[in-house]
Amino acid sequence: MSMDSHKRDFAANARLPGIFALAAGIGFVSTIAAFVLLNLIRLFTNLFFFGTLSFVDRSPATNTLGIWVIGVPMIGGLIVGLMARFGSEKIRGHGIPEAIEAILFGKSKMSPKVAVLKPLSSGIVIGSGGPFGAEGPIIMTGGALGSLIAQCVKVTSAERKTLLVAGAAAGMAATLGATLGAPLTAIVFAFGLRHDANALLPLLTATLIAHGFSTVVMRRSIMTEKIARRGYHIYREYGVDPLERHYVDEVMTASVESVDAATTVGATLQTLFGANQLRRAYPVVRDGAVIGVADRMLLERFCAEDTERKRAMTLADVFAQHNTASALSSETCRLVATRLAVLGLERLPVVADRNSMRLVGIVSRSDLVKPSLAHFEEEHKRERFRRIGPSLSKRRFAPVRAGSRGFARVRKAS
- Say how far residue 168 (Cα) sits from the centre of its chain: 17
| C-alpha to C-alpha distance for 272 and 381, rounded to whole angstroms | 40
Q: Are residues 183 and 167 in the same domain?
A: no
pLDDT at 261 over 80: yes
Residue 203 lies in a domain: yes
| C-alpha to C-alpha distance for 316 and 285, rounded to whole angstroms | 9
Average pLDDT value for residue range 10-39: 80
The last residue of one of the domains, among 194, 209, 238, is 238
Q: Are residues 186 and 323 in the same domain?
A: no
| Structural domain boundaries enclosing 213 | 177-238
Residue 181 lies in a domain: yes
Q: Are residues 168 and 24 in the same domain?
A: yes
- Say how far residue 400 (Cα) sits from the centre of its chain: 60
Q: Are residues 274 and 128 in the same domain?
A: no
Residue 72 lies in a domain: yes
| Mean predicted lDDT score pLDDT of the chain | 78
pTM of the model: 0.55
Query: Residue 293: which H helix or E strand, with range?
Result: strand 289-295
Residue 267 lies in a domain: yes
The last residue of one of the domains, among 176, 196, 212, is 176
Q: Which three-class secondary structure state does DSSP give residue 111?
A: coil
Alpha-helix residue ranges (DSSP H) falling in 71-156:
71-86, 96-105, 112-127, 135-151
Average pLDDT value for residue range 218-241: 73
pLDDT in tens, 331-368: 999 999 999 999 999 999 999 999 999 999 999 999 99
CATH number at residue 299: 3.10.580.10
Q: Dump strand ranges (E) for 13-86.
A: none
pLDDT band at 217 (very low <50, low <70, confident <90, very high): confident
Contact 400, 407 (CB under 8 A): yes
* CA quadruple 387, 388, 393, 395: dihedral, nearest 10: 10
Q: Are residues 43 and 119 in the same domain?
A: yes
Q: Are residues 155 and 145 in the same domain?
A: yes
Q: Are residues 201 and 166 in the same domain?
A: no
Domain count, the chain: 3
DSSP at 332: B
Residue 274 lies in a domain: yes
Q: Are residues 255 and 185 in the same domain?
A: no
Residue 350 lies in a domain: yes
Residue 345 lies in a domain: yes
Q: Are residues 318 and 282 in the same domain?
A: yes
pLDDT at 103 over 70: no
> Which CB contacts under 8 angstroms, 24+ apart, belong to 227-236?
227/97, 227/100, 227/101, 227/104, 230/101, 232/101, 232/104, 232/105, 234/100, 234/104, 236/181
Contact 290, 357 (CB under 8 A): yes
Q: Which pLDDT score is estimated for 403?
A: 46
Residue 251 lies in a domain: yes
Average pLDDT value for residue range 166-170: 68
Q: Are residues 257 and 229 in the same domain?
A: no
The last residue of one of the domains, among 150, 176, 202, is 176
Q: Are residues 163 and 20 in the same domain?
A: yes
Q: Are residues 20 and 166 in the same domain?
A: yes
